[in-house]
Structure 1
Amino acid sequence: MPSRKADKAVDMVPTLPFEALTASDYIKLPLEQMNAFNSQILQSLSGTYQVSEKQNTIRYLEMLSMNSDAANKITNGPIMLLLIKMLRLSKTSVLRVQIASLMGLLIRYSTALDVELASSGIFNALSDGLRDKHDKLRRFCMATLGELLFYISTQSDQDTKEINTQEYPLKDNRSATSWQVPSAVIALVSSILRKGEDDLAQLYALRTVDNICSQGTEWTSRFASQDAIGHLCYIYKATGKQESTRLIAGSCLARLSRFSPSCIHLILEKISFKDIACTLIKGNTREQQISLNILNSALVNSHTVTSMNRYILSLSDDKQLVALLCKNSRRWLPHFFCNAKLISAVDRLGKEKEGFIHQCTEAFVQLVASLVPGILDTVSSDIQQVMVGKRHGPVTALAGRAHPKSTIHLFPVILHLLGSASFKHRVVTGHVLLQLANLIKILEAPFQARDDFQMTLLRVLEAATEEPSVILNEHTVFMSRIIPSLSVLYKGNKDGDARFLCLKILADVMIVIFSDSSLTSDEQTITDLKSISQRHFLPLYPSFAEDEDPIPIYAQKLLVMLMEHGCVKVSDILHKATVSQCFEFLLGDLSNANVSNVKLCFALVSAPEMDTYILSQLQVVRRIGNLLEFVAAKDMDDFLEPTLELCRAFIIRGTGSNRSVALSKNPALLLDSAFSMSIAVDQQTCVMDICDFGGNMGIFLELVGNSDPQISDLASDCVVLLLKAAPREATVGLLTSLPKLSTVMDLLKHDSHRCLIRLLYGLAFSCRQYLAQGMILSISVPALMRVEALVSVFKGSNDSLLADAASYLSAELQRLPRCG
């Protein structure tokens, strides 16, 4: 059939007995004008015009047919009816060929066919053309019939799935149920496939069958006759046919076997299992795909094939089948499943909703997953034989594929399977985890070539623990067997990556277990976790802390979590070296710090068992202040609260926890002489460099104005406590930051009175200190005036506590000297 071309220019339109219109003008004609124009076309085709003039009209109609809207009007109007009549009655073969070609184009480019066309005699006309001796006519009639049958099959499928739907408006109310395709037409199409027919006509017939069978509807069964199957098998196996023709015939057979299982035995009578096995080994990719599809259909529907045993027995002495089995034996697994493309292809197929594909993929995945326990057993056996010296050349036995009995090279297959969403849940079972636990136990003893194997095993365990359900369902295996072996494997291991994976797997397992409330509420589980912490984590912590990055980070995170859940006590790590390691992050680039660093330091500083003398020797207060400035400047919100808590814990070391609680609740105690006498700072209990926080008073004040109430509360508490722990330095810091203080007080006037009251008493205390110590400071007079104005407002507050604090501060402010 002619290929689709763009609209021609006007001068390329053939000579016509009427004025030609373009397709775009044609479809815009009003109904009366269109009927008149169509009448001119009909007259030119049916009148006494010469054959050449009729051919010109047909060429013009071919040009119009390239426009779908125009094709719809012509196909569903009187012109198509005349073309059908001319195809039947015309005696001129050349004209009939053009008519058949035009009909095919019109059907192809039409978006809807009216059901009236079903009774137009179109099937009879095309059938007569197919029986004609003129090869070219038969080709175009077959192509046109193929277009028509494919349209009807697709419409029937939609009609079945979507009755009364509005999704396809062009096809509304044009149900294909009125199309009744005679069985004689189907038989005629099938007959075109027989031996000796014209190759091109046969190609069009093959495409028709393949397109219709691809729909997967009941139409497939209409081509599942013994004759049709026989003809298709002949073409598929015919060496004299073009490869493209053979492959289309094979595609037809694969689709028929899939959607019409009752014909499988007919296919197997013509294409034996021996032929399929030979194609799988020697055929090209398309032939292999066709053979696999037929084989899958045969095996899935074997219960419907009464002679299946005979087909299988016919392969018993076939050497080609042996070659096929060898190709798919265990030693070939790495070639297939260490291939990322194959794994991703299986994952894509696993998402298919089509039942047949889903069923095949499930069977394939289950079969491969069932091989894993056997692989692990043989790998374990191989390693043990190497360790006891039963195999010479252990490196070759472990790493070399040339060794006939070694299966250790299969182990990476498991790692690749665990990277697949389809295989992971099938591969990791309780039995497989026990096998992995046995393998890692074996690795506790060193042997030659252990390093390469241990990395794969550790990566397998890492992949297995990525699914929390695996850990939760088999937590006893992890706690009693795998974690103890990981700690042993870490010790003395020269491979930094291996040491990191040992710790990472340990941390991942513990995090998942602690996240499950049902496990953490079980006394036995908590006892086991404490035992693991004491026996397998704490003894290694000094090594973790000094190891290469990122091992110390993981170790710190795990330590903090264990301390939070009571599995590790602060007293367990109160060694000078360990404490020093915890604060080392303050010496480096603060951008590399993490929340776990800060939380661990807070746990140490706030622990009653912690020796203040050790904290004083660290000399880290200034660095902690720098950290607070850094996280505030960088808007690191997740750091603010733990960093403020750390600052507060250091300050409390100088005031005592009980007095600090009292002062936090009642900041008026700052001005209470009796309270001040009882809290006289003892140099033995105070961190010696706590006064360095005085230089950070400005950032404390800024954070009091933070929108987060928790941050604001912590910061204001630090201000009050620091004034008592380091009165001189804190007073200097507060009074020199008076502009910031006035801004924050203005922000708080409508919010937290608690924080505001702390600031008022804190400033009152600073005023007293300033005068009592005879300090000489440059105090901003404008800021002082703004503070006085705010205090005046606060004195009239309905909140008696706020009003009292403002009155105390007002009296102290009056005593301050005014300097410029």
Structure 2
Amino acid sequence: MENFILYEEIGRGNQSVVYKGRRKGSISFVAIICSDKSKRAKITNHVRLIRNIKHENVVSFHEWYETSNHLWLVVELCTGGSLETVIGQDQCLSEDVVRGFAIDLAKGLKYIHDSGIVFCDLTPAKILLDGPGTLKYSNFCISKAEGENLEEFFLMSISQEAGLEDDNTLQINIKSLVQGSPTYSAPEVLKGEDTSIESDLWALGCVLYEMFSGKPPFFSQNASELLQLILNEDPPPLRQKVAPFSEPSPEFQSLLRGLLRKDPHERPSWDQLLSHPFWRGAFSEEEKLKEEDTFVSSSVETAYSNVTGQMLHSCSAPETLEETRTLEGVEAAGNKGQPLRNSLQLNSVAEFRPKSALDNDAREPVFLLSSCPAPGRSTMANHAVDRTSQSHEELLASQVNDLGSSIRELVFTDSDLTVTPIIDNSKVMKPAPVKFDSKTLSVPAYSGEKLSSLSPADWEAFVQQVCCLLHAAETSDSGPPRSKLNLLSYLCAVASHREAATRLAHSQLFPLLTPQLRAAPNWDVRTKVTRLLGLLSSHCVELKDVTPISEAVATLTELVRENFRNNKLKQCLLPSLGELMYLVARQEEKEEPPGGTWAIPAASYTVLMRCLREREELVVNHIAAKTVENICTTLSHHAKAFVTGEIGPLLWYLFTHSTVDSLRVTAISALCRVTRHSATAFQSVIDKVGLPAILDCLASGINRVQQYLLTMFAAILSHGANVQRLIQDRDLTAKVVRALESPFPMIRAKAFLVLLQVLSCSREVLLLCCNSRLVMYIERDIRKAAPGREEQSSNEYLSKCLDLLIRHMVQELPVLLDEILSALGNIVGRKHPSGAQAKQLKQSLPMIAVLLHMLTSQNYVKSIDSCETCLDGAIGQTPSEELIRNTLLAMEAITQHPPLLTPHHSTVVDSILPPLTSLASSNNVEWRMVSLRVLSEITLLLLSQELLGEGEVNSAGRDLLALITKALLPQCESLLLEPDPLPAYALKLLVSLTEHSSHVSRLVEESHLLPVVFQVISEQQGNPLGTTVQSAMALLSNLTGQKDVRLRPLYQQGLVEVICSWLIRVAALCMEREDKAMAKRLHGLLLSLLDVLHNVLKSTSAVVRYALQSQKGEDKGDIQAAEELLLINRPLAELSGLLIQMLPSRDPELYEEASQCLSLLSQLYGGDDLECLHPDNLQSLAQTLEMQTDPRQQRLLLRVIKRLVPCRCSGCLLGCRDPESGRTLMPLAAQQNSLVSTGTESLKWRHQ
């Protein structure tokens, strides 16, 4: 169990929670299901059936565990959600998608049936999708072995778990447990027949119908109407009510008609189903052989995993975690039709149990919870946006007004105050069975329901008869009072019904019972009377003022005192005494105002306190502690009677010295509820045993113990008692932060609440908490804080605690910054600060790390307000390298949120960019890199705003331009000549400066930066995948892409040679690389190079076109300039063949760039490249024409071919090239006859 780490919650049901988990020491992620033990029968059945199944369309089962409160299953992780979710989101699916999904469903269901299993309840909710989209069957809780009676198995399972031999005493409706969804149930199942393979095929048809249409074939909110539809009506015509509105094919309709036949014998067999034309040959013989091979190999893997100990089942009684052995003997799949049937039958459920930690103190949690937030998403940002409900706004408003009162309201929750019975509590002692003989009973053996519904006259007659029988039995002297015992046993049985118990407590029977405690002839009768009083008190809903409760309490108290040395009698008397006292306490709590209608003698409290002492028997201790726990749950004056100086140490002794977990939990729960009435109870424990001993118990694995201890710490801190002593102990903070790793939301919420109170008393602890990953824990839990429909009690509470903590931490930031700036301001200009100033610096400066922690959290950063905070004051004299580093990182975090910088355009330019620019030339390499990164982000944001006309464009834009001209650009030359990695950061800054500003681009062209940039590119020949080359090519793309660009300075630095050499080299690397990460980087570099080439050719084309237009004017200067430019760029014509090879790429962006460049080259140079019509290139052109269906792209390609072909001599072409190369283009060109006639004529000439 401790081999797994829990991450976030990914699903929740009525009695189960699904977590994402990971096996320690590996990157194998799994799904971990935490289920309530009330579902043991279903979970056992699921594991029994699925443990040996290994198939791609069935969710794999790994292992399962048992703890004191839950069952844990480790299964395959499916990240795609359920099929029900997919249908709900898309509303309907196309037939092709349905076919793909249906193939997975059919494969999986056939394998399940071949394994001897009937799925029984096939619904979209039980079908999951993994990451690649494979459908998998997931829930076998009410599935069964073929021919098996599932009700008998469930009955056997529940009977053996309850330890009962008589099934008549088991009051459970088994039918409700095994009943599936009626919407997908076959007609024969609704008529009462057992589920079968045919009924599974009906359900499969329903699921296919629903995938296509969005709704099941038979649907109604009314159960009886739904039953009539399934039994008597045909399914509605198959149609889609939302886009794409496609019509089903005849094959699909034929398949559904066969699957949805009312008569199960008319439904297709598996052979008929798999040969249906709807599948289009998906289930051919080769596929069947492949499935069988997969099945055999998976069976071998399963057998091997059993040998090596990877399967984790226990075949015997529960053992400790360290001693648990793996399940042996998992049988490999046999022949078709009987692969796993032998492993499905169990003679006894006890033979098949999960791994257990019950002998290991039942310490939950058994899985560790990861502190990492979910990858790929900002949970705190989502939370900050989503939580805008009115209730949260009201909560936040109350926090501002009174943080203390808000905390006190959250200390105790309903989860801390749950109440369980004192009498007949199996965790205290095993209850004696209530049996009576209805044949010898002298009164009608009415059930509890019948008694509660009797008319007043019948009820009065029944009570009179009971009272007469009890009185007659009391006055009779003949023989043992068997009839009286039988009558009392019957009354005990019906007293478990709430309404019947209330009517009996209000009747004249109750006053008759108290005298029986003294007058009964023997202890057998007294025991029965005592138990009856306890049961009536436990199940009674309300009391009348005339009910003689006080007399019963006094009598039972006297009996306990008289028989105090008799443990057996005390075990009999104390539960009823406790129930009576708790009944009085909760009834008086309801009164307005609370009164004292029923007096409880002080001796009763004294007796219970004596029963808590260490020399008493454990069961007696447990009953007394349970009584204190229940009574102190109320706010009546009876609870305050237990607030004494010794109650805390007594309960703590029981908690620490008991070996029974249930008694330990009861004792600590009772102490928690006493602390609710008086914090001194827990304070007395701290004073006596010491805080370290209590903190050691906080690390216990029992989740209820952690919850109660954290609640008591929150209570004592909220009352302000000895707060300074607690917060000065650093171990308290460390242990509470450690509790944030618990998988239980309630424990994490309590830990957040305790930390909030510690932080509100000591601001210095905030740094310790942040260094202990507090912000990461908050990031993880923010996503779960919004309450859902089924987790109101935990996640809503977690949400409130987080709201308080986040608001407090955000409010602390301005105070921290004021202290830091004050400390720095005091030493400005002082060479030797005083001792007091040095002490202030040591205390305040490290707190800058808190700002960094909170700014890197996307939840806090949206709440922090820096209206008048300027960093100029903090950078007068550098007091600490750590201060500057954290300040830089904090500024970098702010740049990730552009909306925060937008309102402060002038402040950023005037107060933040200058010191960042100065840090870019410092001697500290780390500061230089971070400052360059921050400058890149800020300048990119500001220049883009200036381009769009946002912000203070006129004034701030001029200031920014002056800063770039005078400070940034002069530094870039020296930065580019520095060793790696500084040139990469400098180039990234230049990319940001030139991306949105043509003016900055011209400044770069006119500066001395271009030679240095080309020098850096030449030095990176051995590292084409580095970020330096990426940034350099992006810079060239920005420079060449500006309007009215002057390319001559770039030509002088060898731009054409750079384009040719790097484009050829990168294209070759793209063909060789198979690593996806490297291929992605090369693809980006290739696009940048093509963009540079396109910009150069486009500029050249514009010059040539202008020269041709001005040729009539005989302007020889323009013509000469165009000729020179064509001559300079002539080496680029050699790239035509390379560009042709890029055209068949399925990447639209790559095709677009390559085709545009090829078109411009063909316009400027035609077919000057002798290799442009190589057979491989012709084949690429033919393939591209086949792929492109857009007429515009087809015209573009044909024009390119037309320009390339005429420049080649036909004799030379046919003499040195394969004529078939030309013929490959002819049919394609003929198809485009209607598009470009000139292109077609050219192709005909080429063929001739």
**Normalized against structure 1, the TM-score is what?**
0.66
* Contact 2:605/2:641 (<8 A) preserved: no
How far does residue 207 in structure 1 lie from its aligned partner after superposition?
0.8
Q: Relative contact order (alpha carbons < 8 A, sep ≥ 6): 1 or 2 greater?
A: 2
For 2:877, the equivalent position in structure 1 comes to 442
CA shift digits 1:739-794 (9 cap, x unpaired): 2212222333x422x33333333333333322089467643433422322233333
For 1:508, the equivalent position in structure 2 comes to 937
How far does residue 623 in structure 1 lie from its aligned partner after superposition?
1.8
Q: 2:1124 aligns with which of 682, 695, 699?
A: 682
* Contact 1:738/1:784 (<8 A) preserved: yes
CA shift digits 1:225-254 (9 cap, x unpaired): 4x7446425555678984759965663365
Q: 1:524 aligns with which of 940, 946, 955?
A: 955
Structure 1 letter corresponding to 2:1222 = L
For 2:824, the equivalent position in structure 1 comes to 380
Q: 2:1095 aligns with which of 625, 643, 649?
A: 649
Is 1:468–2:902 an aligned residue pair? no
Aligned CA distance change for structure 1 residues 298 and 521 (closer, same or farther; 3 Å): same
RMSD, aligned CA: 5.9
CA shift digits 1:534-590 (9 cap, x unpaired): 234222223444556665444434423322321753332232122443576665234
For 1:252, the equivalent position in structure 2 comes to 673
How far does residue 376 in structure 1 lie from its aligned partner after superposition?
0.8
Is 1:23–2:465 an aligned residue pair? no
Q: Whole-Å Cα distance in 2 between the matches of residues 102 and 772 of structure 1?
A: 114
For 1:172, the equivalent position in structure 2 comes to none
* Contact 1:190/1:228 (<8 A) preserved: no
Q: 2:852 aligns with which of 397, 412, 415?
A: 415
How far does residue 738 in structure 1 lie from its aligned partner after superposition?
1.1
Aligned CA distance change for structure 1 residues 128 and 739 (closer, same or farther; 3 Å): same
Aligned CA distance change for structure 1 residues 649 and 100 (closer, same or farther; 3 Å): farther
For 1:571, the equivalent position in structure 2 comes to 1002
Q: Whole-Å Cα distance in 2 between the matches of residues 243 and 11 of structure 1?
A: 28
How far does residue 280 in structure 1 lie from its aligned partner after superposition?
11
* Contact 2:1178/2:1222 (<8 A) preserved: yes
Q: Whole-Å Cα distance in 1 between the matches of residues 1068 and 1136 of structure 2?
A: 13
For 1:164, the equivalent position in structure 2 comes to none
SS at 2:1205's partner residue?
helix
* Contact 1:468/1:512 (<8 A) preserved: yes
Structure 2 letter corresponding to 1:470 = L
* Contact 2:436/2:490 (<8 A) preserved: no
Q: Whole-Å Cα distance in 2 between the matches of residues 358 and 189 of structure 1?
A: 45
For 2:884, the equivalent position in structure 1 comes to 454
Is 1:602–2:1037 an aligned residue pair? yes
Q: 1:786 aligns with which of 1200, 1203, 1224?
A: 1224
Seq. identity, %: 14
Aligned CA distance change for structure 1 residues 210 and 391 (closer, same or farther; 3 Å): same
Q: Whole-Å Cα distance in 1 between the matches of residues 587 and 1170 of structure 2?
A: 93
Q: Whole-Å Cα distance in 1 between the matches of residues 819 and 689 of structure 2?
A: 29
Aligned CA distance change for structure 1 residues 561 and 408 (closer, same or farther; 3 Å): closer
For 1:744, the equivalent position in structure 2 comes to 1184
Aligned CA distance change for structure 1 residues 150 and 278 (closer, same or farther; 3 Å): closer
For 2:926, the equivalent position in structure 1 comes to 497
Aligned CA distance change for structure 1 residues 790 and 379 (closer, same or farther; 3 Å): same
Aligned CA distance change for structure 1 residues 702 and 583 (closer, same or farther; 3 Å): farther
SS at 2:1225's partner residue?
helix
Structure of greater Rg: 1
Structure 1 letter corresponding to 2:718 = N
Q: 1:766 aligns with which of 1204, 1211, 1224?
A: 1204
SS at 2:715's partner residue?
helix
Q: Whole-Å Cα distance in 2 between the matches of residues 391 and 688 of structure 1?
A: 73
Structure 2 letter corresponding to 1:530 = L
Structure 2 letter corresponding to 1:791 = A
For 1:134, the equivalent position in structure 2 comes to 559
How far does residue 480 in structure 1 lie from its aligned partner after superposition?
1.1
Larger proportion of strand: 2
Moved more, 710-719 or 284-293: 284-293
* Contact 1:366/1:426 (<8 A) preserved: yes
SS at 1:573's partner residue?
helix
Q: Whole-Å Cα distance in 1 between the matches of residues 804 and 161 of structure 2?
A: 57
SS at 1:769's partner residue?
coil
Aligned CA distance change for structure 1 residues 344 and 384 (closer, same or farther; 3 Å): farther
Is 1:477–2:907 an aligned residue pair? yes
SS at 2:997's partner residue?
coil
* Contact 1:375/1:407 (<8 A) preserved: yes
Is 1:627–2:1040 an aligned residue pair? no
Q: Whole-Å Cα distance in 2 between the matches of residues 337 and 11 of structure 1?
A: 49
Q: Whole-Å Cα distance in 2 between the matches of residues 57 and 511 of structure 1?
A: 89
Unpaired runs of 5+ residues, structure 2, are 1-67, 70-156, 176-433, 446-465, 474-478, 561-569, 613-622, 656-665, 696-707, 730-757, 786-794, 1074-1078, 1110-1118
CA shift digits 1:92-119 (9 cap, x unpaired): 55655566558868998xxxx7x8x657
How far does residue 380 in structure 1 lie from its aligned partner after superposition?
0.9
For 1:340, the equivalent position in structure 2 comes to 773
Q: Where does 1:246-325 land on structure 2 (aligned, <5 Å)? A: 251-252=672-673, 255=676, 284=694, 290=712, 292-293=714-715, 296=718
Q: 1:698 aligns with which of 1140, 1156, 1167?
A: 1140
How far does residue 524 in structure 1 lie from its aligned partner after superposition?
2.3
Unpaired runs of 5+ residues, structure 1, are 15-19, 157-176, 213-219, 257-266, 300-314, 666-676, 815-820
Aligned CA distance change for structure 1 residues 472 and 195 (closer, same or farther; 3 Å): farther
Structure 2 letter corresponding to 1:763 = I
Aligned CA distance change for structure 1 residues 87 and 537 (closer, same or farther; 3 Å): farther
Q: Whole-Å Cα distance in 2 between the matches of residues 809 and 356 of structure 1?
A: 76
For 1:216, the equivalent position in structure 2 comes to none
Moved more, 684-693 or 246-255: 246-255
For 2:376, the equivalent position in structure 1 comes to none
For 1:535, the equivalent position in structure 2 comes to 966
Is 1:733–2:1172 an aligned residue pair? yes
CA shift digits 1:279-303 (9 cap, x unpaired): 998994588963653553689xxxx
SS at 2:1204's partner residue?
helix
Aligned CA distance change for structure 1 residues 482 and 767 (closer, same or farther; 3 Å): closer
Q: 2:1245 aligns with which of 795, 804, 811?
A: 811
Q: Whole-Å Cα distance in 2 between the matches of residues 724 and 207 of structure 1?
A: 92
How far does residue 735 in structure 1 lie from its aligned partner after superposition?
3.8
SS at 2:1124's partner residue?
coil
Aligned CA distance change for structure 1 residues 181 and 789 (closer, same or farther; 3 Å): same
Q: Whole-Å Cα distance in 2 between the matches of residues 10 and 623 of structure 1?
A: 74
How far does residue 139 in structure 1 lie from its aligned partner after superposition?
2.2
Q: Whole-Å Cα distance in 2 between the matches of residues 348 and 251 of structure 1?
A: 26
Q: Whole-Å Cα distance in 2 between the matches of residues 74 and 367 of structure 1?
A: 54
For 1:559, the equivalent position in structure 2 comes to 990
* Contact 1:210/1:251 (<8 A) preserved: no
In the comparison of the two structures, how many residue pairs are matched? 692
Aligned CA distance change for structure 1 residues 362 and 250 (closer, same or farther; 3 Å): farther
Aligned CA distance change for structure 1 residues 489 and 50 (closer, same or farther; 3 Å): farther
How far does residue 716 in structure 1 lie from its aligned partner after superposition?
2.9
Moved more, 690-699 or 243-252: 243-252
Q: 2:643 aligns with which of 232, 237, 248?
A: 232
Aligned CA distance change for structure 1 residues 592 and 371 (closer, same or farther; 3 Å): closer
Aligned CA distance change for structure 1 residues 239 and 585 (closer, same or farther; 3 Å): same
Aligned CA distance change for structure 1 residues 94 and 207 (closer, same or farther; 3 Å): farther
